[in-house]
Amino acid sequence: MTTTIERHARTNDPITSKIAAGLLTEEDLSKLQQDLYKLLAAEPATHDRLYDRYRAADLPPRSPQRVRTAVREMVDGGLVRAAGELGESGFHNPSQVWEVAR
């Protein structure tokens, strides 16, 4: 049975983001987190690098924002943490590297 969970889009997001947030299920969320966890367990990464690896793994399409949100949820849940080092974003700016919390 699919359970819809309460997720929120930011107040200034377009209506399509608000609709998509309302359709997210526990099964979708846990699968995305499982996939991201496996990718981070293989190699710590910045958000941009993690998203690139996610796309290259031919997994269900997700936006970069959704991947960032899932990482934040895993940080809040104690599954992922900051690696204590900075990498480089796609725009060549300093970016936090994330790793599995062991």
Whether 5 is in a domain gets the answer no
Whether 54 is in a domain gets the answer yes
- Reference 11, options 21, 25, 26; nearest CA is 21
Whether 71 is in a domain gets the answer yes
Whether 2 is in a domain gets the answer no
Task: For the chain, list residues with pLDDT below 70.
Answer: 1-29
Residue 55's domain spans which residues? 15-100
Number of structural domains (the chain) is: 1
Q: What is the pLDDT of residue 76?
A: 86
Measured on CA atoms in the order 68, 16, 32, 75, is the torsion positive or negative?
positive
pTM of the model: 0.73
Q: What is the pLDDT of residue 4?
A: 39
Q: What is the pLDDT of residue 68?
A: 96
- Reference 32, options 83, 3, 69, 81; nearest CA is 69
Whether 85 is in a domain gets the answer yes
- Residue 37's CATH number: 1.10.10.10
| Alpha-carbon span 60 to 80, nearest angstrom | 21
Q: What is the pLDDT of residue 24?
A: 56
Structure tokens at 85: 């080092």
Whether 9 is in a domain gets the answer no
Q: What is the pLDDT of residue 22?
A: 60
